[in-house]
Chains A and B, each alone.
Chain A
């Protein structure tokens, strides 16, 4: 999905929501999160995602756990904290509100 720059601001706002959603049901490490987002056609780059992940950890939305890897260095697997779960629920609710707004405005 290669949208034009006019969608860049909307995309930026969605990034945190999608990152939270990507670790809702299973733990993932940073590269897997980026791969998951690209997997659903959301364009994101490591250079943007990695600093955001650390910021979210600092804010207590995600937590990490080190796990050995068979092919390389140990990896930080991220999972949602209670605060992260709450934030994700709030984001979804807000997104719903925005969608309703878009539908109602023209009527």
Chain B
């Protein structure tokens, strides 16, 4: 690879810029952005990111060759590991954002877990949710058969279609316990 393709990057504290391949540069930029995000709630977050950056520089300075390769960058950053902050760090913030309100629950499901998901969100009993779904469908089907048997068939087809659509749209969650865990923070804050 010719020298023009290398990216020059300055790292905190180091006087000379480092020569990186574009892929290695991208890896490092992504790592530092992740570190900043992970330490967003930390009062010393900026300083920790600067310390890490300087330390990455120390490691990179020990490599020989014209530019730091993607492989060298990967192994360095893997050794540094993901950046973990104190309270208010990534795990706690991330859970709130990623916790879906409506979902499918896989553990204990009959078909795709749509009813279980409804039961988890509304905190209604799963038996009740299932009975209601079947009862409403059958009752509506029976009433519609007063018009014609074809209307009933179209209606049942629509019900199946709605269920399949929900299966595709709703994000799966492993179990009801996990759903509650994801939302534990929200409940304790909101109520």
Binding site for B on A (CB under 8 A): 30-31, 45-48, 50-55, 57-58, 71-74, 76
Contacts and interface: CB of A to CB of B under 8 A. Distances in A.
B13 A74 contact: yes
B82 A58 contact: no
A67 to B, nearest CB: 13
A31 B45 CA distance: 18
Nearest to A76: B51
Contacts of B83: 47-48, 50-51
Interface of B: 12-15, 35, 39, 42-45, 47-48, 51-52, 54-55, 57-58, 61, 79-86
Interface of A, helix, strand, loop or mixed by DSSP: helix
A51 B84 contact: yes
A47 B35 contact: yes
Nearest to B81: A45
A52 B38 CA distance: 13
Given A47-B81, A47-B83, A51-B84, A72 B13 contact: yes
Contacts, number: 67
A73 B12 contact: yes
A51 B55 CA distance: 13
Contacts of B14: 72-73
A31 B55 contact: yes
Contact of B52 (A50, A73, A74, A76): A50
B84 A47 contact: yes
A47 B82 contact: yes
Contacts of B13: 72-74
A72 B13 CA distance: 8
Nearest to B56: A46
Contact of A72 (B43, B45, B61): B61
B44 A47 contact: no
